Chain A
Amino acid sequence: MKKTLIGLLFLGMLATSVSAADTIKIAITGPFTGGSAPMGASMRDGAKLAIAEINAAGGISVADKKMQFEVIERDDEAKNDRGALIAQELASMNDLSGVIGSVNTGVVLAGDKHFQEKGVTKIITPAAGSASMTQWSKAGVPDLSIFRFAAHDGIQSEMVVEEAIKRNLTKVAIMYDSTNYGVSGRDDMLEQIKKQGNKLEVVASEKFNIGDKDMTAQLLKAKSAGAQAVLIWGIGPELAAFANGMAKMEMKTPLIGGWPLSMSNFIDNAGKNGNGTLMPQTFIEEPITPKAKSFIESYHKTYSVPRIASPVSAAQGYDAVYIFAAAVKQAQSRDTRKIKEALEDLRDPVEGVITTWKKPFSKWDPANEQTHEAFRREQVVMGMVQDGRVVFGNDSDRQRLIKNAIK
């Protein structure tokens, strides 16, 4: 009896390994429900769009075999504990080739250690918090299986400060939420102000809490101190409370901040008061290049939506899959460690919707986490809210991208 059972189990394992022989298992994780769902679901849908394209074209040739991608989806609900559980589950699968996803830096911090422990390759997108990568450089790990594919906060704060200086402003107010994300955003901005020559005077620095609806106090301080711009680090609903409060106080000063200003719960809740708000973006939902045009059109068609809830997340999810696929092809293997090595040294450029990626990553150096960060300043543009969508904030960015595409 026992023997037959073991035999059956063995047969079963054989059977699954046979049926799975021709697929590359890739997991997509993120919040698909709840407050961060616009980003999580857009990332997932962008990634699945790329996977569908690759599979429809016959898959990837690995060791003379055409292999298809097989997707495992996990909803972490933006909860750290869920994220940790999911990471444990995925890390224990021995035939998983890689993981793409995570929106919330807290979830990344809770889960990624399991991937690193088992050496599972993960591409973080679109979570932008600096800590996701600095945790590994601080720990000094010699080898890292985690990559990031998002414009991290360092780049974003650099651009926010740059934008204020470019507009010839001298006095700014800094507003930040009381979470890790907000506080480190403030520190990044202060550091950037110093770095860029102390051209900005911070006349007010005010904190707010998640759930605050009335920002009159903070705004009045900024207004009475003569701030010419409000630089802000926070998440959708509170950002909207600022935009609405500024309209009420008749503050016409620009609102500039991190990329959550492009979240639909900012754009919808702020309504027309959100117009003119500026934030760094890696992708603008405007068909300015043929590649962008086909991506936007097929996204709209596939998911029957008139606009992408979070274009940045969708485009990053899409490009992350193509970069991962390129690594599989170069490694000629489904083995997650070999894919990691290929990612650190991609020979061929990967044509994505954001840009054409040339060597996005390099061999991990614990002294420089930029080695596993794909985005540099030039891949990021300034976006602006305009009547319910995000458009280019500076026409020069737009022209540059069009020119790059022709080149």
Chain B
Amino acid sequence: MESLIISQMAVSGALMGLVYALIAYGFQLTFSTSKSINFGQGELVMLSAFFSLTLLDWGVPYWLMVPGGLLFGVFLGLAVERAGVRLALEQKSEGWILLTIIIGLLGFSAAENIWGRDDRPFPTPISADALQFFGVNVTPLEISVAIGVFALMGLIELFKRKTLLGKAFEAVSADRDAAELMGISATRTVMLSYGLSGLVAAMAGILVSPITTVGPTMASALILKAFSVAVVAGLDSGFGVVVIGIFLGALESLTSFYLGSGWREAPGLILLILALAVRPNGVFGKATIRKV
């Protein structure tokens, strides 16, 4: 019984952890190209979820809503880049930190005014009835989260490795000056990275909403965890965020079982502190030494 409980808690937690990983991956995308991240990423998750819910309310079928919601995320990501990041980066200032936070707050108020402060259910055709695997209960909904996370991250990684545009993306991440000298526009690549991170945020919103419901504060807890995951894993390892995300999710879940749910947030914060103290580049991060 005890081992069954542990596996049930670990599996439930790990599936949630994949959502942290996906959002953390969004941080990585923009950090790799521009050394900046969107501190309002959580609001992107939430706004995309609300928008997708509105599409469903308008009668758009679920499978058409998904691309619609994702496109909206891309649009939001681009808007954040244009309004909050580009100028600051051009002036080589850290202004993007404050600007992205402010844009996030604006998005939050907008959501409260447009959609209200209620948590609302997000209908989905995917069943929430439990299936049993070796005594562990998992719902198809949770499995869909795992599939969605892996599919999107896999596609983006494939894009980065197999297409010219994706390779240009990697080139800017690796060496901005060298990439520029090859005729690659770093500005456009940064735009692309923000678009992609908006896409990732929207996906996270669509995947997690049927489980957690949609509300203005739906992502505030998620984003903190995602941030921990990104920092602990390092800001340049897609593989790392998945491993750390799963690990943190499972750990949280077990902590809340053994120590009480009040301690749920503790492992993420402790990991964050440990990572910053011991391995500032992250467990999977590379020290940035440039070979000359």
Contact = CB atoms under 8 A, between A and B. Distances in A.
Interface of A: 33-35, 37, 178, 206-209, 211-214, 216-218, 220-221, 224, 236-237, 240-241, 244, 247-250, 265, 268-269, 271, 273
A269 B261 contact: no
A268 B217 contact: no
B221 A250 contact: no
Contacts, number: 83
A39 B175 CA distance: 58
Contacts of B213: 213, 237, 240, 269
B118 A37 contact: yes
A273 B8 CA distance: 20
Contacts of A37: 116, 118
B121 A269 contact: yes
A271 B141 CA distance: 15
A236 B257 CA distance: 23
A224 B257 CA distance: 12
A35 B118 contact: yes
A71 B139 CA distance: 50
Most A CB contacts (10 A, CB to CB) among B9, B120, B121, B220 go to: B121
Most B CB contacts (10 A, CB to CB) among A34, A212, A214, A217 go to: A217
Contact of A217 (B121, B137, B139, B256): B256
Contact of B120 (A211, A212, A250, A268): A268
B129 interface: yes
B60 to A, nearest CB: 20
Nearest to B249: A214
Interface string B221-257: 1000000000000000000000000000000010011
B16 interface: yes
Interface in B138-152: 139
B164 interface: no
17 contacts: A34-B118, A35-B119, A37-B116, A213-B213, A214-B12, A217-B256, A217-B257, A217-B261, A224-B5, A236-B119, A240-B121, A244-B128, A248-B130, A249-B137, A265-B118, A268-B120, A268-B121
A298 B15 CA distance: 48
Contacts of A209: 261-262, 264
Most B CB contacts (10 A, CB to CB) among A35, A236, A248 go to: A248
A35 B220 CA distance: 17
B261 A212 contact: yes
B118 A248 contact: no
Given A214-B12, A248-B128, A237 B257 contact: no
A265 B9 contact: no
Nearest to B16: A214
Given A35-B117, A237-B215, A217 B253 contact: yes
Contact of B211 (A213, A221, A249, A273): A213
B217 A34 contact: no
